[in-house]
Amino acid sequence: MPDFSSIIGVSPAIREVTSLLERVVQNPEISVLIYGETGTGKEIAARAIHDNSATGDELFVEVNCAAIPEHLLESELFGYEKGAYTGAERTKRGLFELADGGTLLLDEIGYMSLGLQAKLLKAVEEKTFRRLGGEKEVQVKVRIIASTNIDLSVVMSERKFREDLFYRLNEIPLTMPPLREREDDVILLSESFIEEFAKQYNLQPRTLSETSKELLRQYHWPGNVRELRNAIKRSMIMHDAEVLSPEMIPVSIRSTNSLAKQHWNSNQLVIEVPDEGVTFEEVEKQVIDHTLKLTNWNKNKAARMLKISRPRLLRKIEKYDLEPVTQEV
């Protein structure tokens, strides 16, 4: 039976992914194109395909097509012969050869140049290619998985991506859902990350308070699973408490502006008081911060709602070093 335990989740969206993966791993000759926003786990899905398809020590080889300049990417993929260009002092095998018998992941394929796409098409279709400066055809047997965080149909309409290559790679399309569509999985993922970091950094076990869980569920997660993982890691490193309460969650996640994009009652402010207590100044700071966000930083309106003068509100803003939160995209 396939093992997809690396893909954590019970949401309908994730169950659909694992159901498709079960079919994919049974057909090692099929190319797969994985779609998904940054941080949704495209590489994890690709590795799951490889791990459940490989029969021995075959390699999983990954190349980020957006991170390597075009003139270097070709030699990375196909290798080169000794003397092919100045500085080529020896023959070097490319990633296609290294992945022979295994899997080659072409990450962020949408950023590859048209010229290189033509050469890639031949290699994908025929499983043969020539090294730079070479005359001999090199044959390989490799499963091709490509991934992208952009809409390739748009890129094709702009004539920046070859249709023939798209249809060759897109034999089986797989979409990794964004975390905002996986509300049922947020706490499962969080608890998995807590366990992971407790072992990695030799920390005591932690739990999330109920208010923290609700906060995490309601946030819209523009950075997806990667953002959640980083948030849990930061909270555990920066705080020693056994229970992770809302004030220990990164401020960008606690901001009302972020939460308002979900079905969240933005008129309600919940302040969880930990066992060790909380200062009145901290409560006052949170109330003022919440009111300013609720009014989109309209200071006159916020002062009226708080029933204090505008000059007094300005002094409080300065005292607590408050400032508008700009949401990162």
Q: Residue 93's CB: how many other CB atoms inside 10 A?
A: 13
End-to-end Cα, the chain, rounded Å: 39
State residue 255's pLDDT score: 63
Residue 109 has pLDDT above 90, yes or no: yes
Where b means 16+ CB within 10 Å and e means fewer, 226-255 reads ebbbebbbebbeeeebeebbbbbbeebbbb
Q: Is the dihedral of CA 162, 70, 176, 50 positive or negative?
A: positive
Owner of token pair 């739990």: 207
| Cα 169 from Cα 163, distance rounded (Å) | 10
Q: pLDDT category, 54, cuts 50, 70, 90?
A: confident
Helices (H), strands (E): how many in the chain? Answer: 15, 11
Q: Phi, psi at residue 220, to the nearest 5°?
A: -90, -5
Q: What is the pLDDT of residues 132-174, one digit of tens each?
A: 888 899 999 999 999 999 999 999 999 999 999 999 999 999 9
Contact by Cβ (8 Å): 42, 176: yes
| Structural domains for the chain | 12-177 (3.40.50.300), 179-271 (1.10.8.60), 279-329 (1.10.10.60)
| Cα 140 from Cα 124, distance rounded (Å) | 10
For 103, the 3-state DSSP assignment is: strand
Q: What is the pLDDT of residues 178-231, one digit of tens each?
A: 999 998 999 999 999 999 999 999 999 899 999 899 889 888 899 999 999 999
